[in-house]
Amino acid sequence: MSVPDNGAAKRRLPIGIQTFRLIREEGCYYVDKTAHIQQLVDAGRHYFLSRPRRFGKSLLLDTIKELFEGSEELFRGLAVHDRWDWSVQHPVLRLDFGRGSFDEPGLAAKEALAQLDAIERRAGVEGRYDTAPARFGHLIESLRERSGRRVVVLVDEYDKPTLDALEAPEVARANRSFLRGLYSVIKSSDAHVKFTFLTGVSKFSKVSIFSGLNNLTDITLDPAYSTICGYTEQDLDEVFAPELPGLDRGEVRRWYNGYSWLGEEKVYNPFDILLLFQQRKFKAHWFETGSPKFLIDTLLRRGVPTPDLEGMVGTEALLSAFDIDEMSVEALLFQTGYLTIVDEEDRGGRVRYRLGYPNQEVRQSLNERLLVALLPDAARRRADDAPLRELLAANDFEGLEAFFRSLFAGVRHQWHVNNNIGSYEGYYASVVYSCFAAHGFDLIPEDSSSAGRADMVVRFDGGVYVFEFKSVGKESSGRALAQIKEKGYANKYRRLGRPVHLIGVEFSREDRNIAAFEVAQAA
């Protein structure tokens, strides 16, 4: 549900504001999520939600805080106002691990103790214990005794102490162990707790962090709460109507919409939309606020060819398999927001999810970073400067071949082997694919037909370009182009009446460059 803007004047954009009170008191745009909160309170007590960074999790928790504290004036006109009992207030204990870094031993415990100490001072509670779990439990019980009401416990970025230390596994394990002990207090204090909500980016398995808190209801993939964070198309129409004039709505959708947690509606990342309205430019607003270095390193170490990122498949259990010692690539990509669910299939009660890029921003930006990793040094600069779109627009295939030859000429000796991409062909195909994706082309990797799958199809400027990649010895085999013809990969596009170009690319394992670049027009 959204708060209509009534087509009136523009409001302040709440960029960087995660405090519900500030948004309401300063007249900022606000997308009403309180109906979801009411539904949670009516249905249960203990919840967990995973969403990517900068998706509004902190604002959601702050809204819950103000609701339970009885700040009625902030909720006038919102969905929850007439359904809430404002005569009852509950003490709220909120921990937030979103600040600071936890990549060194002991920092997580120090941060927790500092936050508990601050809450104790504000509440007038004497801290009697030295360990964070003991003080946490004592604080919950004391707040219950002083107020006569059960306590609301909110934990923001519950997983950050572990995520920060993934490149230092021993520290990550120590942080995980500490958090397990801390969060187990919530269950042991159940008699004193009214409501619990934990949020984070990752969904660690219950046996790792949540083994002591196994009564949480995970709403991450619950269709009823798929839009609890993020903006829908209706939100843009109703809440942000004054900001839309002058923007191509199709481009807004192509660039930023597309995240799905199994609801009927896909959602936008709020940070992207707010920055778009402020700057009026289609840019990688969300992507540029975080570094995917760990992700890039993991993909290269696991030998995942970049075209394979589109079309990955996983079960719900696989997408939840995120832990220090057992981390699937699918879970890492999905939970961090670089891939989303694009389709689901029920196979006799076993649901499989197909993953894909949510939008143009993520596909283009992630492949830019992948290209940096795949093409070090001078080759990367050539990729930046290349007039790739101009070459394709002119169907200058000689120029296109020369462009890719120049890219691969900059690859250091043995780089294509040392980066662990599974094969010569996989490495070179990854470079070509990521290069096109980084330049914003409309791509279909592993494009299926009745006779097989073309390695890559590019649709651009009314034309279709069907690619097949082969790894060969020193000499060309001519098999790449022949396979496109024999298998009829271009047939379904030829029926559309568009120009269809067949491009067979063969990579020499010995020369570490292109052995053949053959082009033909579909008959």
Q: Which of 291-305, 351-365, 418-432, 436-450 has the highest mean pLDDT?
A: 351-365
The two structure tokens encoding residue 359: 């939008």
Give the domains, in start order, of the chain with CATH numbers: 32-225 (3.40.50.300), 360-521 (no CATH)
When the pLDDT of each residue in the chain is averaged and rounded to a whole number, the result is 90
Is residue 18 a contact partner of residue 62, using CB atoms and an 8 Å limit?
yes
Alpha-helical (H) ranges within 240-377 are 249-256, 270-279, 293-302, 316-319, 329-335, 360-374
pTM, full prediction: 0.92
Q: Which of 322-331, 374-383, 500-509 has the highest mean pLDDT?
A: 500-509
Is residue 173 a contact partner of residue 130, using CB atoms and an 8 Å limit?
no
Residue 249 binned pLDDT confidence (cut-offs 50, 70, 90): very high
Number of Cα atoms under 13 Å in the Cβ half of residue 313: 6
Check pLDDT > 60 for residue 5: no
The pLDDT of residue 2: 45
The pLDDT of residue 66: 98
Q: How far apart are CA 164 and CA 180, in angstroms?
A: 16
Q: How far apart are CA 55 and CA 49, in angstroms?
A: 11
Check pLDDT > 50 for residue 127: yes
Q: How far apart are CA 500 and CA 505, in angstroms?
A: 16
Q: Which amino acid is at 41?
A: V
Burial 132-162 (b: 16+ CB within 10 A, else e): bbebbbbbbebbbeeeeebbbbbbbbbbbbb
Selected residue with higher pLDDT from 103 and 497: 103
Check pLDDT > 80 for residue 336: yes
Is residue 469 a contact partner of residue 425, using CB atoms and an 8 Å limit?
yes
SS3 of 305-318: the string is: CHHHHCCCEEEHHH
> Which percentage of the chain shows pLDDT scores above 90?
74
Check pLDDT > 60 for residue 41: yes
Check pLDDT > 70 for residue 6: no
The two structure tokens encoding residue 134: 């003991």
Q: How far apart are CA 291 and CA 309, in angstroms?
A: 18
Measured CA distances, 250 to 4, 82, 247, 255, 314 (Å): 22, 37, 9, 9, 30
Is residue 512 a contact partner of residue 416, using CB atoms and an 8 Å limit?
yes
Residue 380 binned pLDDT confidence (cut-offs 50, 70, 90): low
Q: How far apart are CA 466 and CA 502, in angstroms?
A: 5
Measured CA distances, 13 to 23, 271, 279, 288 (Å): 9, 10, 11, 19
The pLDDT tens digits for 196-224 are 999 999 886 655 676 666 778 999 999 99
Check pLDDT > 70 for residue 45: yes
The pLDDT of residue 434: 94
Q: How far apart are CA 310 and CA 43, in angstroms?
A: 36
The pLDDT tens digits for 290-312 are 989 999 999 998 889 999 999 89
The pLDDT of residue 99: 87
The pLDDT of residue 26: 96
Please compute the mean of the pLDDT values over residues 157-167 and round it to a whole number. 94
Sort residue 326 into left (φ over 0), alpha (ψ -120 to 50) or beta: beta
The pLDDT of residue 384: 53
Q: Residue 141: which H helix or E strand, with range?
A: helix 132-147
Q: Is 237 helix (H, G, I), strand (E, B) or coil?
A: helix
The pLDDT of residue 79: 98
Output phi, psi for 482, to 5 deg.
-60, -40
The pLDDT of residue 1: 42
Q: Is 461 helix (H, G, I), strand (E, B) or coil?
A: coil
Burial 202-240 (b: 16+ CB within 10 A, else e): bbbeeebbbebbeebebbbbeeebbbbbbbbeebbebbb
User: 301: burial class by Cβ within 10 Å (0-12, 13-18, 19+)?
Assistant: exposed
Q: How far apart are CA 497 and CA 127, in angstroms?
A: 76
Handedness of CA 158, 162, 165, 171 (dihedral sign): positive
Please compute the mean of the pLDDT values over residues 392-400 and round it to a whole number. 95
The pLDDT of residue 382: 54
Numbers of helices and strands, H then E, in the chain: 21, 13
Please compute the mean of the pLDDT values over residues 282-289 and round it to a whole number. 96
Output phi, psi for 278, to 5 deg.
-75, -45
The pLDDT tens digits for 460-486 are 999 999 999 998 887 778 899 999 999
Q: How far apart are CA 41 and CA 33, in angstroms?
A: 13
